[in-house]
Amino acid sequence: MAFPFYWMLATSLKSPQEALQAKPIWVPERMRPQNWVKAARLGDSPLWGGLGPGRSVELAFPGEEEKPPRAFVPRTPGAFFDPVADGTRVEVAYREGAWRIRLTNATEGAFRVLPLVVLWPKEVPLSPPLPPDALRSQGEAWRLEWVNAVPGALGYVFHNYLEAWRAAPWGRYFFNSFFTALTQVAVGLFLAALAAFALARVPFPGKEGVFVLILATMMVPGEVLLIPNYVLLARLGWLDTYYALIVPWLASVFGIFLLRQFYLSLPQDLFDAARIDGAGYLTQLFRIALPLSLPGLVSYGIFTFLGAYNALLWPLIVTQSPEMRTVQLGLQAFVSEAGSDYGALMAASTFVILPVILGYFVAQRQFIQGIARSGLK
């Protein structure tokens, strides 16, 4: 488990070219401390970089005076006017044994990101002031590309995270995911606890048959229910609402089974004593069974939360507007027909998975007890 997680973290810090290379890169350039120092010198802020109005930044390339490089700010593909490319003045001059490329913000606005391309003669040794994000061959020259020539130290390391966060309304996505998952956990626990207690502690004719019938529904693949559920929600007018995300998943056979096993493991004497004192079934459930089955409740809550939080297919089917999308659908913003931005995708995946990992570590003890006592394997 540690290796895939490290690979995801490492990819989230890679440059676009490093993320596309087939050869394994264990330590990306953005993870090397010596590059953090170089990046901190580029930009107005040592931490977050940027270039304010009228401000300049200079990059020194040691080389020969007879072979000058070319430098320019690339224009956004398809853009008629690019304020960064059109508003940046690029000057190349040879001084003190190095070619110095000066970038000046000639506009009245600040540049958060300033891309740069340098064409460097192949016959001259190359020593850039900061490792490029991409290095390609272009005729007689090396083409060096930086996604941001004024990154600052933290802006350099966490560039993919910053771009991933700005690429989609993650605040809304996180709200939808947490609201949907927590509602399913709360209501699902209540319904499962009632059904499980009835099947475990309330005698009624045909109880075992009802339980077997409920268990038999687990053999029906979830994909078979997609179209019937969709048609039902469409007729109710619930598509693209929270009802569509929550209601079909409130009743859980797994939750009923898990909690029933807990209730069966409790001593019968407790319930007999409660009945002698005049306690009804609901009193026995809420004052005896539920407090004693906390590990089972936590286990079921974690399973339900993970299922709802990681759901992709169902939210993709029943939601259309961006306001109703969840975090898993937000990851699709980095996958297109032109290819995938793996660095930003892994950065987004990292902050999407963090709440799940933190929640697991907080409830780890109860989760293990719940699995052990229920006899699940």
What's the pLDDT at 81? 86
Q: How does pLDDT run across 286-296, given as a tens digit for each residue?
A: 999 998 888 88
Q: What is the sign, positive or negative, of the torsion defined by CA atoms of 11, 16, 21, 26?
A: negative
- Per mean pLDDT, which range of 33-42, 63-72, 303-312, 366-375 is the poorest? 366-375
Q: Which helix (H) or strand (E) segment is 94 a member of?
A: strand 88-95
Which of 190, 192, 182, 187 minimizes the C-alpha distance to 374? 192
| Range 129-137 average pLDDT | 92
- pLDDT bin (cut points 50, 70, 90) of residue 355 is confident
Determine how many CB atoms are found less than 10 A away from the CB of residue 336: 9
What's the pLDDT at 142? 94
The whole-model pTM stands at 0.85
Question: Mean pLDDT in the chain?
Answer: 89
- Per mean pLDDT, which range of 9-18, 173-182, 234-243 is the poorest? 9-18
Residues 349, 316, 2, CA angle at the centre, nearest 5°? 25
Q: Which helix (H) or strand (E) segment is 173 a member of?
A: helix 170-201
DSSP 8-state assignment for residue 74? P
What's the pLDDT at 369? 67
| Range 333-341 average pLDDT | 76
Helix (H), strand (E), coil (C) string for the chain = CHHHHHHHHHHHCCCHHHHHCCCCCCCCHHHCHHHHHHHHCCCCECCCECECCCCEEEEEEECCCCCCCEEECCCCCCCCCCHHHHCEEEEEEEECCEEEEEEEECCCCCECCCCEEEEEECCCCCCCCCCCCEEEEECCEEEEEECCCCCCHHHHHCHHHHHHHHHCCHHHHHHHHHHHHHHHHHHHHHHHHHHHHHHHHCCCCCHHHHHHHHHHHHHCCHHHHHHHHHHHHHHHCCCCCHHHHHHHHCCCHHHHHHHHHHHHHCCHHHHHHHHHCCCCHHHHHHHHHHHHCHHHHHHHHHHHHHHHHCCCHHHHHHCCCHHHCCHHHHHHHHEECCEECHHHHHHHHHHHHHHHHHHHHHCHHHHHHHHHHHCCC
What's the pLDDT at 374? 54
Q: How does pLDDT run across 46-82, given as a tens digit for each residue?
A: 999 999 999 999 999 998 888 889 999 998 877 788 8
Q: Check pLDDT > 90 for residue 141.
A: yes
- Please state, in angstroms and rounded to a whole number, the distance separating the CA atoms of residues 151 and 47: 8
| Range 147-159 average pLDDT | 94
| % of residues, the chain, pLDDT over 90 | 56
Which is more confident, 213 or 219? 213
- Per mean pLDDT, which range of 37-51, 178-192, 247-261, 323-337 is the poorest? 323-337
| Range 309-333 average pLDDT | 90
**Pairing mode of beta strands 141-146, 335-336:** unpaired
| Range 277-284 average pLDDT | 91
Please tell me which of 175-179, 216-220, 293-297 the model is most confident about, judged by mean pLDDT.
175-179
- Please state, in angstroms and rounded to a whole number, the distance separating the CA atoms of residues 152 and 50: 7
What's the pLDDT at 377? 43
Residue 187's beta-bridge partner residues? none
